[in-house]
Amino acid sequence: MKVLGHRGAAGSAPENTLPAFEKGLEYGVDGFEFDVQLSRDGEVVICHDERVDRTSDGVGWLKDFTLKELKALNFGVRFGRRAEIPRLSELLGLLEGKDLLLNVEVKSSPLVEYPGIVDKVVELLAKYRVLPRSVLSSFDHRVAAEVIRKYPQAATGLLYASGPLRPWLYAEKIGAGHLHPHFAFVDPELVQESHARGIGVNVWTVDEPWVMEKMAAAGVDCVITNYPERFKLPAAVNHA
């Protein structure tokens, strides 16, 4: 079972900023989950909320800020430090040469859409040669449909936080390679039925040891956690 850092390693540093990814690397993660959106001038940036209010000293919708305006905000306020919002290209540069899994959560909804974001994300992942190690996931399953239609070589994951019946049939029907359920909706049957169809199961957000044990027993492929240090040894120790 692989351990992915959630929003970098959001328990230790400002979420979705380069310091959070550096922390995850220290902890020896197998990969990262992070969220992408588009600035007003069309840059792919890494940020969870559609508004900047919670994680920065700014106010408003991320899509209304240019990259330059976003870079002027402090995304480290919750940790009492300075941290910039990263572009996706900056993160991919930081991770170059490292054999990590990337779970790119594309933020999208009928209320806040980012036209062209799938094309831009796939183009960047291909440019940095990490597309074969990446999954494009979204709660907006239209994103999965777009990836499947336009980029059959790319992997896609269906995020969900409720209890659909036989989600493996849904994934199989639309051609998605991965299910990304909240851990509350995972049991051994889900994993067995998914794996029988070649569908991966990647689970969020697993921060407690008892949940981690339950996911391991169910046989999931990846867990996504804010606290990879609870489940992974530091890289230096891993490699000793």
Can you tell me the distance from the alpha carbon of 69 to that of 236, in angstroms, rounded to the nearest whole number? 38
| Three-class secondary structure of residue 115 per DSSP | coil
CA angle 88, 128, 110 (to 5 degrees): 40
Structure token pair of residue 67: 């990259």
The amino acid present at 58, given as its one-letter code, is G
DSSP 176: -
Contacting ligand G3P within 126-145 (CB under 6 A): 137
- Cα dihedral value 12, 70, 118, 99, nearest 10: -40
Conformational region of residue 222, where left means phi above 0, alpha means psi within -120 to 50, and beta covers everything else: beta
Interaction pattern, residues 95-124, with ligand G3P; x per rule: CB under 6 A:
----------x-------------------
CB 15 to Mg ion: min, Å: 9
Q: Give the residue with the Cβ less far from Mg ion, 138 or 193.
A: 138
Window contacting Mg ion (CB under 5 A); options: 28-36, 86-94, 167-175, 179-187: 28-36
Residue 23 touches ligand G3P, criterion: CB under 6 A? no
| Three-class secondary structure of residue 56 per DSSP | coil
Residue 35 touches ligand G3P, criterion: CB under 6 A? yes
CB 179 to ligand G3P: min, Å: 12
- Asked if 6 is an active-site residue, the reply is yes
Q: Give the residue with the Cβ less far from Mg ion, 105 or 146.
A: 105
- Asked if 48 is an active-site residue, the reply is yes
Q: Which does 159 bind (CB under 5 to 8 A by kind): ligand G3P, Mg ion, none?
A: ligand G3P
Structure token pair of residue 170: 């849904």
Residue-wise burial string across 206-221, b where 16 or more C-beta atoms lie within 10 A, e elsewhere: bbeeebbebbeebebb
Interaction pattern, residues 88-107, with Mg ion; x per rule: CB under 5 A:
-----------------x--
Give the catalytic positions in this structure.
Answer: 6, 48
> What does the binding site for ligand G3P look like in residue numbers (CB under 6 A)?
6, 33, 35, 48, 105, 137, 159, 180, 204-205, 224
> What does the binding site for Mg ion look like in residue numbers (CB under 5 A)?
35, 105
